Structure 1
């Protein structure tokens, strides 16, 4: 899948949300996002994120049957790592530039850890 460039590039100041769909993506005792939330799975073109200007954290979570939290990250912080968040619809983008774990485990885990460090949990099921 190639990026669809009919959607405007996101500003560095834009916020995107990553739905935390697995319990092991969060350290629930400290509400910290773990690197596993940002590892690119096989056959994924990029990591799925929701564009914050068109969707609230609650709306992002509601798209999924099981969502253990929603993390926010600023697009500029993604770009600082040599990655990008490329819109593929009016409300959705892909974080692109991450290697697959099978191709380069060290780099994949390092970038995932850096993304997790820059993320903040902005919604959990207990807040509903």
Structure 2
């Protein structure tokens, strides 16, 4: 049980770092408007709403990388051969994703991909479980 908990924690940390990395790259490619305050939610919503397709899609790419890595790392740490830690990581990330999509203006395709992408934790689990 302790290994599963540690696996979930490790998976969340690793997945979060991947998402952060891709989103940092995305902010370099699509910087915030000049003078935008970091805590101005209305300005941030406007930024998201006016973000081009690639800027929004990069968020999904970050989620995909985070899901794969999270599933992989959590499975390797848990070492129990079960997808439990990976699935828990996916559900935690999915909860945060749904919250963000409810708060921010996101198109329907983003909702669909934003939910489906977290099933990739199972691909990470499979990669970690393979004997090769």
Asked which structure has the greater CA Rg, the reply is: 2
Q: TM-score, normalised by structure 2?
A: 0.27
Higher helix fraction (1 or 2)? 2
- TM-score, with length taken from structure 1: 0.27
Structure with the bigger percentage of strand = 1
